Amino acid sequence: MTVNSIHWFRKGLRLHDNPALLEAVQGADTLRCVYFLDPWFAGSSSVGVNRWRFLLQCLEDLDASLRKLNSRLFVIRGQPANIFPRLFKEWKISRLTFECDSEPFGKERDAAIKKLASEAGVEVNVKTSHTLYNLDKIIELNGGQPPLTYKRFQTLVSTMDPPDPPQKPLSKALMGRCTTPVSENHQEKYGVPLLEELGFDTEGLCPVVWPGGETEALTRIEKQFGKDSASTMEEIFQRPKLNSSLLVASPLGLSPYLRFGCLSCRLFYSRLTELYKKVNKNPNYDKLLWREFFYTAATNNPRFDKMEGNPICIRIPWDKNPEALAKWAEAKTGFPWIDAIMTQLRQEGWIHHLSRHAVACFLTRGDLWISWEEGMKVFEELLLDADWSMNAGSWMCHSCSSFFQQFFHCYCPVGFGRRIDPNGDFIRRYLPVLRDFPTKYIFDPWNAPEDVQVASKCIVGVDYPKPMVNHAEASRLNIERMRQIYQQLSRYRGLSLLATVPSSHGEDVNVNGLKGVVAPSSGKRRRGSGHGSRRDHRSGEEHAGPSGVKHRSAGAAETLNCCGKAQSGHGVAGAQGQGDFSHFVIPQQPYRLSRLGSGGSGKRERESEQEAGVDNGLPTSALKVQWHSNVKNAAQQEERMTMSS
Amino acid sequence: MMKRARVNITSKCQGFPSADGRIKRQKTELLGPFLAQRPAEDWGNLPHHVVLQIFQYLSLVDRARASSVCRRWNEVFHIPDLWRRFEFELNQPATSYLKSTHPDLIQQIIKRHAQHLQYVSFKVDSCTESAEAACNILSQLVNCTIKTLGLISTARPSFMDVSQSHFVSALTVVFVNSKSLSSIKIDDTPVDDPSLKVLVANNSDTLKLLKMSSCPHVSPAGILCVADQCHGLRELALNYHLLSDELLLALSSEKHVHLEHLRIDVVSENPGQTHFHAIKRSSWEALVSHSPKVNIVMYFFLEEEEFEPFFREETPVTHLYFGRAVSKDMLGRIGLNCPRLVELVVCANGLEPLDEELIRIAERCKNLTAIGLGECEVTCSGFMEFVKKCGGRLTQLSIMEEVLIPDNSYNMEQVHSEVSKHLGRLWYPDMMPTW
């Protein structure tokens, strides 16, 4: 019987370490590698021209590599669900292979295609190679829920077997007798389209800083770990002092290649392992593991990129402000540090991760108080390595909407840049209008005396915008808003700006607990028993003043507020816990949880809760201690309920 | 409202998602035979107090839905107990992602439940209309006895955009009518001295908490009048320009209860131009001797050169937050002059490592239990020294990874294990994703 295979490329645009592709040629007579592209969709999609250019280059490169194996890439115009049935028939397909896509949208799409394939009698083979680990295993190991702290994630992963080593690249030898039927008009029918064909205006397009494709990716990784590995070693082991040369695109950078799968994460992993072995150090895979962490967090959460309806995202009353958003996105904020980064992003498609921290913080909790979802969309358009899970996860992280960040870690749009780029080289590179500005004022040109502005041929307010916000004032307001929101979620003690970030180590609880009394407190403890405990916890976070006066701003109302669902007195406080699992409960359906937590809590409590409405931020550490030690089981349970709801 | 006097239990109970099927079954079994005999005994006839009990666990929306089931449930819906607390959310679709409280509900509350309200807050988005709508509601709360009032701007301080007369007249309606206000949070609003006088005249016996950070129309005299007459005031939040020696002395008078919290925001109105006054050491001492446990929280949002007048002498501050920048000098003085310091958070700083300053703080501030360092630099050795000196009393230690500069003595790995040893628990620096 003849075996005719299709390998379906989506991500994983490579021939090396591509287990599904190897599966496709295994004992097969023919192989056709396909990539689906909808030209109509392309022009109207939210993905910007740089990202399309990168993708097309990846496809060109893939096609070139396949030609060397006497094969070709088939770029198919249209949607997979519409076209696969026809291809199955036309090409008499018996096997379909592709790389596992862990993202919810991808899973849904793949399930539909699998169904079509089975209807057509096509065998489907799926392999995991975009992530190091099988994400479902991590989730299983964590009791059915994705871990919500990176530390917890690291702990879980450290108990697992190391990732599989990368597999051999597809070669003529591996192709064996497998061939690709290529028609005369292949180029016309299945060739990689040009940007213009997709409806993009290529005039004025900046030169390529990040050439797409597997070949480039392999060159880069060879440079990183080959002869030039000295600088890699330095970066890894010495942590070079922050400087502006870090901010510009490095010829060794790998993130876009990992995103499109031009580079296998397992290859990167194994090269890192070798390097660490060579220098005899404990390996550190943070770069790869953060990626894995977000993939894991997102894989079962189709609303991972939204605030509403996303069980792990705190609801923050962001401002809707399209003008301010546009200024940020178009590099017109009046803060050279922010504008230079956004210019670099638009022109080149990549910015350093510290730059990402800076602009993400500025847009959201730092200055503009605009929703992270908006920023995420702009990155989705411009950032080459933007990936649904990574992009949304990082934005939630930076806006302190999830994953337990300390919100006081704010980046100053003036000082942070100055620290990294004391000479202003980075600013001058991307904002030529400020080129002649003296270094002293280049991060805050509005403070330059008029004669300096004249001499620099750049008048602030004419040639370069005035700062769109007063940073000191904005950060005062925003810190206070965050403090209120987080206090309602009960992760911050009354006066404190420091959160108790859940730890994955049980022993912490006690240490924190016993010594956690930062400010005097009434010690008005509540008995946390069984169901009632959730409620106890909530009251615990209110502010019984030190004297124990019944004087609380109740979690209930406030909690809900922050979740935007106010009005019922019986919402649910976000719970936070420590223990063997990481906890993070953000209620989405208060009524549900309130029923769960409704146990035997008496009226007395409810009355005290009702002394509500005003946040007064009194310390309640003693109460919290109480909660920590007694309630974690309930909270764990509750977390699960919330997460599964 | 829909009238449905009899609702059969067995058919209806499926409509209520039950958290616990077992209980449901028990109840049905229990009531089943009973029902068969007397079909009139149904959910609609549950006693008020039982329905009330259930309603207390429902969200407002669910309660409203349930209230349209039958007359009795509808009666319970309006029981005053369920209307003690309310939070009005006022947002505009153009400026907020969040929904507003439904206008009909607002009307109903004003008509039927205004006199029941005791704990009221308003959350408004950045739109002026939202703040104005809040003022309109406030001015209709005539027959109420509000204890707690919060006006909260969730995005921009939009109350500041409401005309001052509109705002003040709305606020005074509540001040005059309630007469038993105990907690008021009116940060970032145009409240003024005359309205505070009205507050004092009507609520001086009950007022316990007043938060009014960034209220530019209040003068030091205005706040002094509150402190002079509201002897039960336990908590106060205000801006530094309202803080005076007189105010501290008034809060320390014999008649005054112990103050529990004093929060002071130090913000420069005109960057670079403001000269901040100093508070006398004796005034601070008077406050602390009258209220030995008082928490004094100071938030600074200043430029480096504006710190000159602060902490020149001993200051009993307990919680310090630097939101913008802090000079090395200033941090040095904190080590010398802030013996009560409990928590220190430095969000941003200049370019020089803060080793010496931190070590001095560790040595001199014996109550320090929490520290957070954001955008600044400390060498790993300096940091280790700091942690050793503080030891296990540091319950909160939150340092951004990039703050720590590895040196010859310690790399990050060693810092992690050494610090964990000194704290008696596992400790890691805070990390942001390497995107």
B236 alpha carbon, distance to own chain's centre: 12
* CA gyration radius, chain B: 28
Instruction: Give the pLDDT mean for A95-117.
Output: 96
Instruction: Give the pLDDT mean for A229-255.
Output: 75
Tokens of B192: 């003024």
Percentage of chain A beyond pLDDT 90 is 58
Whether A613 contacts chain B with CB within 8 A: yes
Q: What pLDDT does A581 receive?
A: 23
Instruction: Give the pLDDT mean for A436-449.
Output: 95
Show residues of chain A in contact with B147, CB under 8 Å.
611
Show residues of chain A in contact with B302, CB under 8 Å.
472
What is the maximal distance between C-alpha atoms in chain A? 88
- Indicate if the pLDDT at residue A514 is higher than 50: no
- Indicate if the pLDDT at residue A330 is higher than 70: yes
Give the nearest chain B residue to A284 (CA atoms).
Answer: B413
How many angstroms separate the CA atoms of A136 and A128, rounded?
11
Q: How near does any CA of chain B get to the CA of A126, in Å?
A: 27
Q: List the one residue out of B395, B398, B318, B331 whose CA is nearest residue B361.
A: B331
> To the nearest 10°, the Cα dihedral for B63, B64, B66, B67?
110
Query: Are A620 and A490 a contacting pair, CB within 8 Å?
Result: no
> To the nearest 10°, the Cα dihedral for A326, A328, A332, A335?
160
- Indicate if the pLDDT at residue A313 is higher than 70: yes
Q: What pLDDT does B91 receive?
A: 96
- Indicate if the pLDDT at residue A578 is higher than 70: no
ipTM of the complex: 0.85
Residue A595 — pLDDT band, cuts 50, 70, 90?
very low
Instruction: Give the pLDDT mean for B204-233.
Output: 95
Whether A644 contacts chain B with CB within 8 A: no
Residue A494 — pLDDT band, cuts 50, 70, 90?
low
Query: Are B283 and B316 a contacting pair, CB within 8 Å?
Result: no
Whether B422 contacts chain A with CB within 8 A: no
Q: What is the pLDDT of residues B12-48, one digit of tens each?
A: 333 333 334 444 444 444 444 444 455 556 777 888 8
Whether A410 contacts chain B with CB within 8 A: yes
Cβ-defined contact of A566 to B350 (cutoff 8 Å): no
Cβ-defined contact of B121 to A571 (cutoff 8 Å): no
Whether B220 contacts chain A with CB within 8 A: no
Residue A491 — pLDDT band, cuts 50, 70, 90?
low
- Which has the minimum average pLDDT: A246-250, B23-27, B139-143? B23-27
Q: In this complex, which of B96, B183, B271 lies closest to A472 when CB atoms are compared?
A: B271
How many angstroms separate the CA atoms of B412 and A285, rounded?
15
Q: What pLDDT does A501 receive?
A: 54
- Indicate if the pLDDT at residue B429 is higher than 80: yes
Q: What is the pLDDT of residues B269-293, one digit of tens each?
A: 776 666 899 999 999 999 999 999 9
- Indicate if the pLDDT at residue A603 is higher than 50: no
Average confidence score pLDDT of chain A: 78
Cβ-defined contact of B260 to A498 (cutoff 8 Å): no
Whether B228 contacts chain A with CB within 8 A: no
Q: How near does any CA of chain A get to the CA of B299, in Å?
A: 8
Chain B contact probe: residue of A614, A620, A637 with most B CBs at under 10 A: A614
Whether B350 contacts chain A with CB within 8 A: yes
Percentage of chain A beyond pLDDT 70 is 73
Q: What pLDDT does A276 receive?
A: 86
Cβ-defined contact of A410 to B375 (cutoff 8 Å): yes
Show residues of chain A in contact with B261, CB under 8 Å.
495, 545, 616-618
Helix axes A372-382 and A322-329, enclosed angle (nearest 10): 40
Whether A619 contacts chain B with CB within 8 A: yes
Q: What pLDDT does A106 receive?
A: 93
CA dist B378 to A342, A577, B375, B398, Å?
Answer: 29, 30, 10, 13
Whether B328 contacts chain A with CB within 8 A: no
Contacts of A423 (CB under 8 A, 6+ apart): A244, A439
Q: In this complex, which of A315, A356, A518 lies closest to B435 when CB atoms are compared?
A: A356
Give the nearest chain B residue to A151 (CA atoms).
Answer: B428
Instruction: Give the pLDDT mean for A265-279.
Output: 91
Percentage of chain B beyond pLDDT 90 is 58
Q: What pLDDT does A502 receive?
A: 52
Greater confidence (A608 vs A262) lies with A262
Cβ-defined contact of B293 to A516 (cutoff 8 Å): no
Query: Are A153 and A133 a contacting pair, CB within 8 Å?
Result: no
How many angstroms separate the CA atoms of B378 and B386, rounded?
10
Q: Which residues pair with B89 in a beta bridge?
A: B123
- Indicate if the pLDDT at residue B189 is higher than 80: yes
Q: What pLDDT does A579 receive?
A: 25
Query: Are B102 and B130 a contacting pair, CB within 8 Å?
Result: no
- Which has the minimum average pLDDT: A421-425, A489-493, B83-87, B316-320? A489-493
Q: Which pTM was predicted?
A: 0.83
How many angstroms separate the CA atoms of A203 and A453, rounded?
33
Q: How near does any CA of chain B get to the CA of A544, in Å?
A: 11
The phi and psi torsions of B245 (rounded to 5 degrees) equal -60, -40
Instruction: Give the pLDDT mean for B155-160.
Output: 94
- Indicate if the pLDDT at residue A633 is higher than 80: no
Cβ-defined contact of A481 to B325 (cutoff 8 Å): no
Query: Are B125 and A317 a contacting pair, CB within 8 Å?
Result: yes
- Which has the minimum average pLDDT: A260-274, A337-351, B256-270? B256-270
Whether B36 contacts chain A with CB within 8 A: no
Cβ-defined contact of B324 to A568 (cutoff 8 Å): no
Give the nearest chain B residue to A641 (CA atoms).
Answer: B19
- Which has the minimum average pLDDT: A85-94, A141-150, B6-15? B6-15
Q: What pLDDT does B28 receive?
A: 45
Q: List the one residue out of B338, B346, B349, B353 whose CA is nearest residue B372.
A: B346
Instruction: Give the pLDDT mean for A419-425.
Output: 92
- Indicate if the pLDDT at residue B2 is higher than 80: no
Whether A158 contacts chain B with CB within 8 A: no
Q: What pLDDT does A173 receive?
A: 94
Residue A281 — pLDDT band, cuts 50, 70, 90?
confident
Q: List the one residue out of A487, A91, A52, A467 whose CA is nearest residue A260.
A: A52
- Which has the minimum average pLDDT: A51-60, A115-124, A556-565? A556-565
